[in-house]
Structure 1
Amino acid sequence: MAIVIETVADVLARAGIGPGDRLLVGYSGGVDSTVLLHALAQLRGRFSFELLAHHVHHGLSPNADAWSAHCEAACRAIAVPCTVTRVALSRTGEGLEAAARAARHRAWAASEANWWVTAHHQGDQTETVLFRLLRGAGVAGAAAMAPVVCVPGQPGRLRPLLDVPRACLVEAARASGLGWVEDESNTDTRYSRNFLRQEILPHLRSRFPGMDAAFGRAASHFAEAAQMLDELAQIDLEQCGERPIARPVFLALSPSRKANLLRHLLRKMSSRMPDESMTTEVLRQVTHTHADRSLTLRLGDVVLHAYRNHLWLTPSLPSVPDAVERWSGESLLTWGEGEVCMKRVVGMGLDAALIEQGVLSVRRRWPGCAMRMRNRPLKAFKQLAQEAGVPPVERDRLPVVCLDGQPIWIARIGESQQALCPAGQAGVVFEWVRPDIYCDVID
C-alpha cells in the first residue's frame, strides 16, 4: 500500500493540491476506487485537503442497494463524508456505458468539489487507447487519459493510478485487509470494453508482457503530438483571427491545417468531434462555396457559419419568438440567445415621448418589412441587412422593435428616421445584448 500511496502523492503534488482544495472520489466500491479512497484518506494530513466520496446508484444490478450500503459503511470507518445519488439510465443514444458515465458526471457536478478523482489504472489506459484506435481516433483521442487535467471554470480531474497495474491494487487491498464489491456486469462481454478486457487483452498480454507499459508510453507520445498540433492550430488561429475567422486566410492553409484548426476550435467549445467524412464535407463546402452565399453547417452540437469573408462558430442557436411580443417598457426583454435592452438617455436614440404615446412591440421581420433610416430613403429589410453585412442566417433572428406596428429599430441595422430623438429631449436607446460566443461577426 505504501507504494500506491506515494504514487498518489506524486500526482497530488504535481497538481498543486493543498489547503482549501476539496477532492471528490468517484467511489464505486470496487477494488480500484477502494484502494484510491484509502490512499487519499491517509494523505489528508500531508496535503491538508478535504476529502469527499460519491457513490452513484445506477439501479442496474440487484446488488445495487448492498453496494451503496457497503460504500457508506466503508466511508464512515475512515471519516470520509459519502453521498449516494440514485440515477435512472436510458438505454438509448450512445449506449448504456456512456449514459452511466454521463449520469456520474452530472451527479458529481452537484457537489462543491474543485477536483474529481477517479481510480483509472494502467489497464484502463490500455483499454482506452485500444478502444479509441479501433474507432479511428486521431492523436488527441489516442492520447487517452491524463493524470492531471485542468479546465478553466470546471473542476479539475485527477487520475493518480494511471501508472499502477491493477494487480498491484488488488495486492495492496488484500495486504491492507480492505473489503470491496464485485460488479457482475464487468464480465458481460456484450459491452465493448468488457469484450476487450475479457477476450482480447489477456491473449495480448500473454504474448507481450510489457504491453500495458508500452500503451502508456504510446499514450504519452500521442499526447505530446496532440499538444504540438494544438500549438500549430493556435498559431494559425492568430493569423486568421478568432472572432470572426478571416475566410481568405483560412482558405490559404493546407487541407490538413484547416482540419486541424477546425478540430481545435471545436475542442475549445467542448464539442464532440465530428467524424472524418463530416469534417471533409464541411471543409469542401467552405472552400468551394462562393463567398456571397451564406453557409450554415451543423457539426454535432456546434454550427459553423460562413458569409462573405468571415467564418465563425456558435452553439446550436436557440429559437426566437414567432409571434409579436408586446413590450410594456421594461428595461429587458428576452429574445433568442440574448436580451433586448432599453436604456433611457438624453438627446440621442429615439424619441421617448413618442414611444410612450404608442404601443411598443418586438417581432421578427415579416414580408414587406421596411424602414427609413437617418438621411436615407425607405428600404426593404433585406436590402438594409445586406448593406449592414448581416448574414442571411442571422436575419430571421434579429429583433425588430415596432411602434404602433411600424419598425423603429432593427438590431445590427439601426434606427428609424421618423422616430429620432430631438436635440436635448428624453431619448431611448435599444440594444440586443448576446453572450460573446454568439457575437463573432463584426457589425
Structure 2
Amino acid sequence: MTSPAEPDAGRIVVDALGVALSALPADARIAIAYSGGLDSSVLLDAAVRVAGASRCVALHVHHGLSPNADAWLAHCGATARALGVAFDFRRVDVARDGAAGVEAAARDARYRALDAMCAAHGAQSLWLAQHADDQAETVLLQLLRGAGLAGLAAMAPMRSMAGGVPRVRPLLGLLRVQLEQYAAARGLNWVDDESNADVRYARNALRHDVMPALAAHFPGFRDALARTAAHAASAQQLLDELAQIDLLDASRDDGRALSHDALVALDDARALNLLRYWMRGLGLPAASAARLADALRQLRDVREVGGDHGLRVDHAGRRLRSYRGLVFWGDQDDDASVPDASREPAELAWQGQEVWRVPQWRGTFVFAPSDADDPDAAPEAVLTSAPLVARARTGGERMRDPAAGLGRTLKNLFQERGVPAWERDVPLLFVGDTLLFVPRIGVNRAALELGKDDAATAATTRWRRIEWREDLLIA
C-alpha cells in the first residue's frame, strides 16, 4: 500500500481507492476508464497498487478527434503492459455537427464504448477519474444552463446503470493538485489533450478563466459547490420517491405507458416530475423544461376535448402518443394513417420451420407446436397447402370474426381491439391468396377451410400456433 515516507497526497489517493474497493466482492473485476491523461493515469496506478494488476483491466476510447489520438492509444497500451494490466480499446465515431455539441456526442460515444468493453471483460465496476475540480465545474455549468435538481446533483460517487455496470468515481473528493502531487511522487507519465486548452468549449472556459478567479476570492468554493451538489441529490431523491408513488397509480403496460387520466389529475409540478422520472426509466434523455411543459399542456388539451389525436411532441427520435387513455412514446417516423405498401412481399414454402425472419418488417413469424384448442393455431396441412406470403396491407382486407360469424375489415377489427393506427403497419400472412394471420388480431378462421379435408382425423392432425415477434430495437 503506502510507505511511512510517502507524501500525504499518496496516502489520500490510495485510501480513497481502498474505500471503493471495500464495497466490491473479493474477486470482482475492475475496469479503469483510461484516457492516458493525468487523472486516469493516477487512477490506474493506484488501482493496481490497491487491487492488484490481475483484477484490473484498462479501457481506452479512441475518439479520432485529435491528430494525436493514435499516439495516445499507443501510450496507454504500453503503460498498461508495463503495469501488467489487461488492456482493451474501442474506436468510435463522434458526430461533430450534432445539436448537443461535440462534447456531449463524444461523452455519449465514450460511455457506450466503455459499457460494451465492460461487458466483454466481465467487469463488475467501472472506475472513472473525475475529481473535486471536475465536480465544481459541472455544478457551475449546470447552474449557468438553468438546470434542475438532477443537473445540480452533478456526478454521483457511485451510480448504478440500467443495462450496465455501476460507475464509480473514487477520486471525486480529491483536488486536482493532490493528483498532481501523487503523479510527481510516483514518477508517472501522461499525455496532454491539446483540446483542453481550447476555451471555445464551455468547460475549458470555466477551468481557465473562471475557476482561478473564484479560487482567489472564494478559496473554499469547491467544497461549497460539492455541498450544493449533495443537497440537490438529496432533494432529487425525495422527488424520485414521490414520482414512484405516483407511478404506482399511473403506470400501465409494465411501465411502458401512463394512464392519461392519472397523469393529468396531478398538478403541474407533480405531473412534470412524474414525466421526468418515467422518461428516465425508459432510457430517454432528459427533455428541457419548456418541452415537458408543452407536452403536459398538450396532454391536458387533448384530454379536455376528448380526442386521441393532435399531440405534436417529438423528443430524441420518439413521438409522444395518446390513445384510448394511454400515454406512451412511439417511433417518430410512424405513419398514423397509411400502411406502408412499398415493401416487397416475402414468400416461404413452409416445411416445418418454427421461425421465419421477415427483415422488411424487422420481425419474425413463429410457428410453435400447439393444438386445436388454441385460437391462434392453424393445422400444418393449411401451412403446406400453398406458399406462405407476407405482404403489406393495401386497404379493404377482410377476415372472419368468430364472435359475429361474418367477415369484417381489418380496420374495424384493429379499432375494436384498441390497436393504435401507427401500430397497424404489420405484415399480413397469406397462404396462397387467402389471408391466414394478422398480427395483433389473430388467425382468420375462414382460411382453415383449406385444410378441412386433411384435418378430418383429429388424432393425426398437428397444429402450429402463429405469432409475430418484432425485433428488439436498442437505441
Q: Same fold (TM over 0.5)?
A: yes
User: 2:385·2:431 contact (CA, 8 Å) conserved in 1?
Assistant: no
CA distance in 1 between partners of 2:286 and 2:249 (Å): 23
User: 1:5·1:39 contact (CA, 8 Å) conserved in 2?
Assistant: yes
Q: Residue 339 of structure 1 aligns to which amino acid in structure 2? A: T
Q: 1:203 aligns with which of 213, 223, 243?
A: 213
Q: Which residue of 2 aligns with 1:267?
A: 280
Cα distance per residue 1:411-433 (max 9 Å; x no partner): 22233231247683443322223
Report the Cα offset of residue 140 of structure 1: 1.1
For structure 1, which segment, 129-138 or 163-172, has the greater mean C-alpha deviation from structure 2 after superposition? Answer: 129-138
Report the Cα offset of residue 90 of structure 1: 4.1
CA distance in 1 between partners of 2:67 and 2:213 (Å): 32
Q: Does 1:95 align with 2:101?
A: yes
Report the Cα offset of residue 281 of structure 1: 2.2
CA distance in 2 between partners of 1:352 and 1:65 (Å): 59
Q: Which residue of 2 aligns with 1:408?
A: 436
CA distance in 1 between partners of 2:12 and 2:419 (Å): 62
Aligned length: 433
Report the Cα offset of residue 337 of structure 1: 5.4
Q: Which residue of 1 aligns with 2:463?
A: 427
Which aligned pairs between 1:100-111 and structure 2 lie closer than 5 A?
100-108=106-114, 109-110=116-117, 111=120
Report the Cα offset of residue 145 of structure 1: 0.6
Q: 2:145 aligns with which of 126, 135, 140?
A: 135
Q: Does 1:299 align with 2:327?
A: no
Report the Cα offset of residue 381 of structure 1: 1.5
Q: Which residue of 2 aligns with 1:310?
A: 326
Secondary structure, aligned partner of 2:468: strand
Q: Which residue of 2 aligns with 1:362?
A: 390
Q: Which residue of 2 aligns with 1:258?
A: 271
For structure 1, which segment, 147-156 or 104-113, has the greater mean C-alpha deviation from structure 2 after superposition? Answer: 104-113
Cα distance per residue 1:22-59 (max 9 Å; x no partner): 212122222211221121111115xx971121233444
User: 2:434·2:447 contact (CA, 8 Å) conserved in 1?
Assistant: no
Q: Which residue of 1 aligns with 2:399?
A: 371
User: 1:342·1:428 contact (CA, 8 Å) conserved in 2?
Assistant: yes
CA distance in 1 between partners of 2:259 and 2:300 (Å): 13
Using a 3 Å threshold, how does the CA distance of structure 1 residues 79 and 355 change in structure 2: closer, same or farther? closer
CA distance in 2 between partners of 1:436 and 1:292 (Å): 31
Q: Does 1:332 align with 2:355?
A: yes
Using a 3 Å threshold, how does the CA distance of structure 1 residues 340 and 58 change in structure 2: closer, same or farther? closer
Report the Cα offset of residue 66 of structure 1: 4.2
CA distance in 2 between partners of 1:88 and 1:278 (Å): 29
Q: Residue 312 of structure 1 aligns to which amino acid in structure 2? A: F
Using a 3 Å threshold, how does the CA distance of structure 1 residues 292 and 66 change in structure 2: closer, same or farther? closer
Q: Residue 372 of structure 2 aligns to which amino acid in structure 1? A: G
User: 1:122·1:161 contact (CA, 8 Å) conserved in 2?
Assistant: yes
Report the Cα offset of residue 292 of structure 1: 4.4
User: 2:199·2:205 contact (CA, 8 Å) conserved in 1?
Assistant: yes
Q: Does 1:72 align with 2:59?
A: no
Q: Does 1:156 align with 2:161?
A: no
Q: Does 1:388 align with 2:398?
A: no
CA distance in 1 between partners of 2:31 and 2:354 (Å): 42
Q: Residue 430 of structure 1 aligns to which amino acid in structure 2? A: I
Report the Cα offset of residue 291 of structure 1: 4.6
Q: Which residue of 2 aligns with 1:11?
A: 20
Q: Which residue of 2 aligns with 1:213?
A: 223
Cα distance per residue 1:211-247 (max 9 Å; x no partner): 1111111111111111111111111111113324222
Q: Residue 102 of structure 1 aligns to which amino acid in structure 2? A: D
For structure 1, which segment, 281-290 or 376-385, has the greater mean C-alpha deviation from structure 2 after superposition? Answer: 281-290
Q: Residue 215 of structure 1 aligns to which amino acid in structure 2? A: L
Percent identity for Structure 1 against Structure 2: 37
Secondary structure, aligned partner of 2:252: coil
Secondary structure, aligned partner of 1:357: coil
Report the Cα offset of residue 387 of structure 1: 1.1
User: 2:349·2:384 contact (CA, 8 Å) conserved in 1?
Assistant: no
Report the Cα offset of residue 435 of structure 1: 7.0
Secondary structure, aligned partner of 1:313: strand
Aligned alpha-carbon RMSD (Å):
2.8
CA distance in 2 between partners of 1:350 and 1:77 (Å): 65
Mind listing any 5+ residue stretches in structure 2 that lack a counterpart?
1-9
Secondary structure, aligned partner of 2:396: coil
Using a 3 Å threshold, how does the CA distance of structure 1 residues 268 and 316 change in structure 2: closer, same or farther? farther
For structure 1, which segment, 400-409 or 230-239, has the greater mean C-alpha deviation from structure 2 after superposition? Answer: 400-409
CA distance in 1 between partners of 2:69 and 2:391 (Å): 53
Report the Cα offset of residue 285 of structure 1: 2.1
For structure 1, which segment, 408-417 or 154-163, has the greater mean C-alpha deviation from structure 2 after superposition? Answer: 408-417
Using a 3 Å threshold, how does the CA distance of structure 1 residues 363 and 297 change in structure 2: closer, same or farther? farther
Using a 3 Å threshold, how does the CA distance of structure 1 residues 88 and 285 change in structure 2: closer, same or farther? closer
For structure 1, which segment, 166-175 or 416-425, has the greater mean C-alpha deviation from structure 2 after superposition? Answer: 416-425
CA distance in 2 between partners of 1:350 and 1:28 (Å): 58
User: 1:11·1:147 contact (CA, 8 Å) conserved in 2?
Assistant: no
Q: Residue 130 of structure 1 aligns to which amino acid in structure 2? A: L
Q: Which residue of 2 aligns with 1:441?
A: none
Which aligned pairs between 1:46-61 and structure 2 lie closer than 5 A?
50-61=55-66
User: 1:140·1:226 contact (CA, 8 Å) conserved in 2?
Assistant: yes
Cα distance per residue 1:77-99 (max 9 Å; x no partner): 33223335455544221333233
User: 1:11·1:148 contact (CA, 8 Å) conserved in 2?
Assistant: no
CA distance in 1 between partners of 2:141 and 2:11 (Å): 32
